[in-house]
């Protein structure tokens, strides 16, 4: 059984697939206690509203859209054994995306796209399609390099931090990205664009 907060259809607003419509499966709970943005995390409303089997989740996804991308997120989705859910989504011919903090290694998880957004330097899963760092104003390249140490990702994004009032430190992040340190264009900007579109 999986503790589900919400299953809903929307647009991806962050990272590599901005603007793509997809179905989000938001699993409840997060065990990343030393997360650097926990104070501003909107995880609190993500309490489980119900427990669902993998098949019940698939049925709800099919109802919303019979094909396309399903993004499994949280909370921290790897707090739950994702094997059955990902296998069933693949069997139903969905394109499976997973977004995790990387707190656990997920070797061989058969997904189309894995985004890792680490919150602690010692995170376990250091490979995938996208590395996305949410950057507080106190961070410079030293902190970013530490989180990027010994990683293999195809795409790397820096994302401004949004505080509870909705304000972001986007100018700080833009200055980092325009710094000579990023002259090779290794890192790009990711914003929470969906928040400007008035959608969840």
Q: What is the closest distance, in whole angstroms, from the C-beta atom of residue 119 to ligand SF4 in the complex?
A: 5
Q: Assess contact for 162 and 40: CB atoms under 8 A.
A: yes
35 binds ligand SF4 (CB under 6 A): yes
Nearer to ligand SF4, 23 or 101 (CB): 101
Which of 172, 176, 175, 170 lies closest to 190 in space, CA to CA?
170
41 binds ligand SF4 (CB under 6 A): yes
Q: How far apart are CA 145 and CA 26, in angstroms?
A: 29
Residues in binding contact with ligand SF4, number by CB under 6 A: 12
Stretch that binds ligand SF4, among 34-42, 91-99, 139-147, 192-200 (CB under 6 A): 34-42
Q: How far apart are CA 190 and CA 133, in angstroms?
A: 9
Nearer to ligand SF4, 58 or 115 (CB): 115
Q: What is the closest distance, in whole angstroms, from the C-beta atom of residue 32 to ligand SF4 in the complex?
A: 4
Long-range contacts of 85-91 (CB under 8 A, 24+ apart): 85/2, 85/25, 85/54, 85/57, 86/110, 86/111, 87/54, 88/54, 88/55, 88/57, 88/58, 89/58, 89/61
Instruction: Name residue, tokens 């990387």.
Output: 102
Q: What is the closest distance, in whole angstroms, from the C-beta atom of residue 41 to ligand SF4 in the complex?
A: 3
Which of 53, 152, 68 lies closest to 102 in space, CA to CA?
152
Residues 110-129 that bind ligand SF4 (CB under 6 A): 119
Q: What is the closest distance, in whole angstroms, from the C-beta atom of residue 67 to ligand SF4 in the complex?
A: 28
Nearer to ligand SF4, 55 or 163 (CB): 163
- Which stretches of the chain bind ligand SF4, using CB under 6 A? 30, 32, 35, 37-38, 41, 43, 74-76, 101, 119
């Amino acid at each position: 059984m999986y503790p589900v907060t919400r299953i809903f259809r929307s647009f991806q607003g962050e990272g590599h697939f901005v603007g793509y419509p997809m179905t989000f499966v938001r699993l409840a709970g997060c065990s990343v206690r030393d997360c650097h943005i926990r104070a501003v995390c909107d995880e609190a409303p993500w309490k489980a509203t119900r427990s669902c089997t993998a098949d019940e989740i698939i049925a709800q996804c099919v109802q919303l859209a019979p094909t396309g991308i399903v993004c499994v997120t949280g909370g921290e989705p790897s707090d739950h054994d994702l094997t059955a859910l990902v296998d069933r989504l693949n069997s139903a011919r969905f394109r499976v995306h997973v977004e995790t903090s990387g707190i656990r290694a997920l070797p061989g998880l058969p997904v189309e796209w894995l985004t890792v957004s680490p919150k602690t330097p010692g995170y376990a899963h250091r490979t995938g399609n996208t590395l996305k760092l949410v950057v507080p104003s106190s961070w410079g390249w030293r902190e970013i390099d530490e989180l990027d140490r010994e990683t293999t990702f195809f795409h790397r994004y820096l994302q401004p931090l949004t505080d509870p009032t909705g304000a972001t430190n986007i100018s700080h992040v833009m200055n980092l990205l325009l710094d000579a340190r990023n002259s090779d264009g290794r890192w790009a900007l990711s914003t929470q664009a969906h928040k400007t579109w008035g959608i969840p």
